[in-house]
Amino acid sequence: MTRVASLDENLPPRTQHCLKVAREYWSERDPDKTKRVSLGVLKDHLLYTSDCDALPNLLVTRLLQEADKNQDGYLNYEEYLSFAEAAGKETRGRERLTNTALAVLPRFERTVKKRTYLQEFRCCPPPLFMITAALVEIGVFVYYASVMDEPVTENGPTPIKSPLIYNPFRRYEAWRYVSYTLIHSGYVHLTTNLIMQTFLGVLLELVHGWWRVGVIYLSGVLAGSLSQSLASPRAYLAGASGGVFAMSYAHVGNLLMNWSEMQYRWFQLVFTLFVTITDLSVALYDSFWAPNPSNTGHMAHLGGGLAGVLVGINLLRNLEKKRWERCCWWVALLLFLMCLVSAVLLNIFLPVPDFFPYGQK
C-alpha cells in the first residue's frame, strides 16, 4: 500500500474528495482494496449519486472512458488512484464551471457523453477571436467618428467614402465583401451587433475553438455581402450582421449534430427560433408593408444565417458521429460550396445589362 500513501500525500487538497469517495466505495465492497469492481456498477455510482457531485468532471470522464485499459469491464483501486492524480491538475475555475453546469442538469441525464461535451468548454485560452473582432470594430467606429465632421447619433454618421464599406460602384475591390463588417452606422447599430456576436460567438468559441468560430463568422460575412449584392445591386452595405447571424444560426448546426450531448438544447432551440421568426417577420414587414422602409440588409441576414448553419455542421465538433450525421456533413458541405461559387460567379458574370452599377462613386 506504499503507492496509495504517496498518492494521498501528493494530491492537492481540492482533490482529496476523490480519495474519500474511493475509500468509501471500496470499503463497502472490498475493505482490503485488493479486488476489482465492475465498471458498470462504478459508472452508475459516479454518474447518478449525490456523493460524487463534487468529483472533478475530468476525473469522471477519464475513469469511465480510459481507466479500463484491458477492456475487461473491471477497475481496481490502484487504477482509480492513478486517474485521481490527473484530476488534481484541474483549475478551480474549471471545477466551478463544470459544477455550475451540472447543477442545472437533471441527474438522470448525466451521461458520459454529456460530461465529455461539458469538458470541451475551455476558458484558457480565452475566446480571443470574438473579443478581438469586437475591439477592432469599436476602434474603426471611434476612428471614423473622430475624423468625420458630423455628430455621432444612434443612426450615423456612415462613412460612405471609407475603403472598408461595401460600395456597389467599386465591386471590383474584392476586400469590401468582407471588410464592410467593420463599418457601422451609429452607436445603436454598433452596440446591437457587438452584444449579439459576442454573446453568441463566445459560447461557441469556448467549446469549439477560435479558428472554427472565425471561419464560420467570416463565411457569414462573405455570404451576407454576396447575397445582398444580388438582391439590391445598388445598395451600400455596412455592419457585422452577416457574421452575427452566422453565429446565431451556427447554434442550429451545433444542436443538430450534438443534440443528445447538450445541457441547454431546448433553451438554444427556442432562442434560435425566436431570433429567426423575429427577423423574418421584420424583414417581410419592412420589405412589403412598412410606410417608410429601413435600409436594413435583410438578404445579408439570410445569407449569413444560411452560411452559419451549413459551415457550422461542417466545422463544429461532433462528439459522436452517427451514419446520418456523416451524410448530413457531406450534404451541408456541397450545398455551401454550390451556393458560394454560384454567388461569386453571378457577382462577376451576371449576364443582365445594367444590373450592377458602374463608374466611380
User: Residue 301 carries which side chain, given as an amino acid letter?
Assistant: H
**Residue 287: exposure state from Cβ atoms within 10 A (0-12, 13-18, ≥19):** middle
User: What is the structure's pLDDT at 248?
Assistant: 86
User: What is the structure's pLDDT at 74?
Assistant: 77
| Phi, psi for 274 (deg, rounded to 5) | -60, -45
Binned at pLDDT 50, 70 and 90, residue 208 comes out as confident
Residue 81: is its pLDDT beyond 50? yes
Instruction: Report the C-alpha gap between 222 and 181 in whole angstroms.
Output: 9
User: What is the structure's pLDDT at 122?
Assistant: 60
Residue 342: is its pLDDT beyond 70? yes
User: What is the structure's pLDDT at 6?
Assistant: 41
Task: Specify the range with the lowest mean pLDDT, choosing from 172-186, 255-269, 307-321.
Answer: 255-269
**pLDDT tens-digit map of 315-338:** 987 766 778 788 899 999 999 999
Name which residue leads in pLDDT, 345 or 272.
345
User: What is the structure's pLDDT at 319?
Assistant: 62
Instruction: Report the C-alpha gap between 191 and 199 in whole angstroms.
Output: 12
Binned at pLDDT 50, 70 and 90, residue 92 comes out as low
Residue 5: is its pLDDT beyond 50? no
User: What is the structure's pLDDT at 1?
Assistant: 37
Does the pTM of the predicted model rise above 0.85? no
301 is known as an active-site residue: yes
Instruction: Report the C-alpha gap between 26 and 36 in whole angstroms.
Output: 9
* Active-site residue, from 241, 248, 251, 298: 241
Name which residue leads in pLDDT, 19 or 325.
325
Neighbours of 316 (CB within 10 A): 22
User: What is the structure's pLDDT at 267?
Assistant: 79
Binned at pLDDT 50, 70 and 90, residue 179 comes out as very high
Residue 310: is its pLDDT beyond 90? yes
Share the mean pLDDT of the chain. 79
What are the chain's domains? 34-119 (no CATH), 128-349 (1.20.1540.10)
241 is known as an active-site residue: yes
